[in-house]
Structure 1
Amino acid sequence: DNCGFVMAESAQIVILMDDELALERGAPILGAVPFVSVHADGAKKSIPGPGPGNYLTMTRAAQAARDILGDRLFRSGGLVMAHGTGTPQNRTTESNIMSTVAHAVGVDNWRVSAIKSRTGHSLGAAGGDQLSTLLGIWESGWIPGVGTIDALASDVETDRLRFLLENTRAEQCAYSLVNSKGFGGNNATATVLSPDVSKSLLQGLYGSKKIDAWQSRNEATERRRMDIESDRLSGDWQPLYRFNDGVLEDTDIEASRGKLKLGDVAIDTTERLMPSQWRLET
């Protein structure tokens, strides 16, 4: 029952855009990340031992979701993508953190998924596993369950939590807290909003006209993406390799009194950078 975790290798590419840029480019809106909390554990008995930092990050990320969604959606529509290594220390401490924070912020039934049960632990890329899985949940409508166990261990805290041991429909899933629990180091929790919630917020912020324009651009973007994917699958493409493109040489740099020029960029060397009161001599 205490096998720990399997080491894994993983890599993901997720493009995070400013909202205006996403609308201008017609980018697909897979979700939104309005808040990320990072906090160290602070003083504790031993360096690798668990500390209180994750209580803070989980609480702040939950507060951010509640501020945006309001009480009703916040309490009914949450999913926690747990760090979930499956070790005796992680399962007891993280489940207690989730339960305690749920009580503090007024949540009665947080769903919990742990993708490491399927991927293994990819260490530095593990947070990316959680995020990319979450985006896939919203795209597919299914939450992967913790399929490697028949039942929870007796020391796992379950108050106000619903651990999903089987694949479950992602109904009323307005937001997620993506949690990275760092034993002996930093903890981080990201607030991630669903595509539907993200689009509703953008609609209220930018208005129907701009969203309609984004929709048209997005359709064109999607057609181009499908064309590119088809070319790649058929082998009808060549990689782009721009060697020495945009590289400045010493010959591209010119200096004159009061000015330094690097290619097309000129720097005024007489400009004062430091505050005027930081000066020994006048």
Structure 2
Amino acid sequence: MFIHADGIKRSISAPGIGNYLTVGRALDCLQQALADSGGLQHSFVMAHGTGTPQNRVTESHILDSLAGAFNIQQWPLAAVKCFLGHSIGVAGGDQIAAALGVFQQGIVPGIRTVTGFAEDVHQTHLSLSNQHRDFGSAHFTGALINAKGFGGNNASAALLSPSWVGRFLKKRYGDQRWHDYQNKHESVQSSQHQYHDAALTSIPASIYRFGEPEIKGEQLSISSSAINIPGYRPLHLKTDFEY
């Protein structure tokens, strides 16, 4: 993940140039990683995509310009805020979760809240659609996650598909260790499937812990090397960094 501030600009909330830098660096990372896996033509972008008049112009120019610089033709773009709105928490987390779904299913969600795209949206090198598009589950090996900060920091991340990561780990650690990992991972996958099915068929129980005993500062055992918290492992303050 790469982070850059906007720098000098007209006002606090005005867009700046920081997001060009983060997208460029993340694309370079993806290009290197996907060199043997079909290249950037097998990637897609999860845009910040608030859809405001200012965002649609500025973010589309960023993504379109960088896609052109990296010779990407018709880069598939999704913007899941059309389904979810803007999270109060980390909105990029919504985009990562959706991107993992694209890797699994091969379906890029359409921007369903529009019947067409405004004329001021830059899309020479971008592929936008208000329809869901099925590319096949084996098509995508990478994604760019973009979080555009109006008035703050911008962040862009290169996300690699599970299939790419699997090939990478197998190559690095060998067939036997990869096979051992897969055997251990079976129980994890089973738990994931159970959670998935439960989420689709029932409402998860809320975690409500009001009134349970809390830990107060007076209960901590504090020294220059560690802080001991009742019921938890101590937090060691020393680091290995050499000044």
Q: TM-score, normalised on structure 2? A: 0.80
Higher relative contact order (CA 8 A, sep 6+): 1
What is the rounded CA distance, in whole Å, between the counterparts of 2:77 and 2:71 in structure 1? 16
Q: Tell whether the 8 Å contact from 2:76 to 2:108 is kept in structure 1 after alignment.
A: no
Structure-2 residue corresponding to 1:187: 154
Which one of 70, 75, 81 corresponds to residue 40 of structure 2? Answer: 75
Equivalent-residue separation in structure 2 for 1:274 and 1:111 (angstroms): 46
Residue 73 of structure 2: SS of its match in structure 1?
A: coil
Output the amino acid matched with 1:39. Answer: H
Counterparts of residues 99-178 of structure 1 (less than 5 Å): 99-171=64-136, 172-178=139-145
8 Å CA contact retained: 1:54, 1:188: yes
Tell me how far apart the structure 1 counterparts of residues 29 and 156 of structure 2 sit (CA, whole Å). 11
TM-score of the two chains, using structure 1 as the length reference: 0.69
1:83 and 1:187 map into 2 onto residues whose CA distance is 10
Name the larger-Rg structure.
Answer: 1
Q: Kindly tell me: are residues 221 and 248 of structure 1, through their superposed partners in 2, closer, same or farther at Cα, counting changes over 3 Å?
A: farther
Alignment-mate amino acid for residue 188 of structure 2: T
Q: Relative to structure 1, is the Cα distance of residues 218 and 154 closer, same or farther in structure 2, using a 3 angstrom cutoff?
A: same
CA contact 1:138–1:170 (8 Å) conserved in 2: no
Q: Secondary structure at the match of 2:38?
A: helix
% of aligned pairs identical? 35
Structure-2 change in CA distance of 1:71 and 1:157 (3 Å): farther
Query: Partners in 2 of 1:154 and 1:91 — Cα distance?
Result: 10
Report the alpha carbon displacement of residue 188 of structure 1 after superposing the two structures with TM: 0.4
User: How far 1:249 sits from its partner (Å)?
Assistant: 7.9
State the number of aligned residues. Answer: 230
- Counterpart of 1:57, as a letter, is T
Alpha-carbon distance between aligned partners in 2 of 1:207 and 1:149, rounded to the nearest angstrom: 48
Please report the RMSD computed on the Cα atoms of aligned residues, expressed in angstroms: 3.6
Question: Which whole-Å deviations, capped at 9, do the CAs of 1:30-70 have from their partners, x for residues lacking one?
Answer: xxxxxx01110001111111100000000000000111111
Q: Does 1:98 align with 2:63?
A: yes
Cα deviations across residues 123-157 of structure 1 (Å, max 9, x unaligned)? 43321111111112222332110011111101001
Unaligned runs of 5+ in 2: none
Task: State the partner residue of 1:49.
Answer: 14
How many Å separate the matches in 2 of 1:116 and 1:254?
A: 45
Residue 11 of structure 1 corresponds to which residue in structure 2? none
Name structure 1 gaps, 5 residues minimum.
1-35, 276-282
CA distance in 2, matches of 1:107, 1:92: 19
